[in-house]
Amino acid sequence: MRRHELTDEPWAVIEPLLAPPRMGRPVRDRRQVVNGILWKLSTGAAWRDLPERYGPWKTVYERFRRWSADGTWDRLLAHVQQHCDAVGVVDWTIVCVDSTTVRAHQHTAGARGKGQDWPGEALGRSRGGLTTKIHLACDGRGRPLAFTITGGNVNDCTQFEQVMARIRITRCGPGRPRTRPDQVAADKGYSSVKISAYLRGRGIRAAIPERIDQINGRIRRGEGRCRLDRAAYRRRNVVERCFNRLKHNKALATRYDKTATIYLGGLHLAAIFIWSAR
């Protein structure tokens, strides 16, 4: 068992969702294919450099592309999160939200039929050139709950509600899916009236510091400053550690994929690996 490969326990959780069809010709071992994708994700190497022990590189790539397009990785991540929530692993006391910018390789631009700045492929031009931004929400232990990707020039606060809306963990028994944490921590980039109203409407406490212009405006109006739960805000560092674990995968630390679907599939697979390594 190599360090980039799934162990027996996490594979037993996701294997039922990757069961081969009953009819048709025999297919390659699914675990071998998933381990090959994990190797490529971790090393950032070209698909053609895939070691022979994982089978033909084109088979592994086509399987990864197909599973990214049909939502297989989304379902696998939801299934793993459901399993972890059932055994009490998910920390709902606080959810931390933040974003990180990823440099896009020059070969990323030019997806078929689309320009390199086409927003549908989550590419944007910023000071560093072509970039992609990952917007992430993680639980209190730094495991990814939900994320979206946009161009690197998109403001963080515009994606806050979209990220929060993607937090949805189905219960094993009866009851509605779990969607609301007790508290949300984020940096000053998420300090806005709209976000505060959104969290109040859902009954979620906020640990978000105000920007200096908001503080000065309150002082001019004769109002007091909003109190910040500093103990909760200090826990926000778990989202930085989550980004660090995701970026250990070189294929995510620098984007090489032309389409947003495939890059997002890699994020889902890396998140599955993080939850499985609990």
pLDDT of residue 20: 63
> What does the pLDDT look like over 200-226, one tens digit per residue?
999 999 999 988 877 777 777 777 667
Q: What does the pLDDT average to over 6-22?
A: 76
pLDDT of residue 24: 47
Q: What does the pLDDT average to over 55-62?
A: 92
Q: What is the overall mean pLDDT for the chain?
A: 87
User: What one-character-per-residue DSSP string does the chain give?
Assistant: --TTS--HHHHHHHGGGGPPPSSSS----HHHHHHHHHHHHHH---GGG--GGG--HHHHHHHHHHHHHTTHHHHHHHHHHHHHHHTT-S--S-EEEEEEEEEEPGGGS--TTS-TT-GGGT-EEETTEEEEEEEEEE-TTS-EEEEEEEETTS-GGGGHHHHHHT--B--SSSSPPB---SEEE--GGG--HHHHHHHHHTT-EEE-PPPHHHHHHHHHTTPPPPP--HHHHGGGHHHHHHHHHHTTSHHHHEE--SSHHHHHHHHHHHHHHHHHT-
Whole-model pTM? Answer: 0.89
pLDDT of residue 14: 84
Where do the structural domains in the chain lie, given as residue ranges?
8-17+27-276
pLDDT of residue 130: 87
> What does the pLDDT look like over 130-189, one tens digit per residue?
899 999 999 999 999 999 999 988 999 999 999 999 999 998 878 899 999 999 999 999
> What does the pLDDT look like over 109-138, one tens digit per residue?
766 554 444 557 888 887 778 899 999 999
pLDDT of residue 163: 96
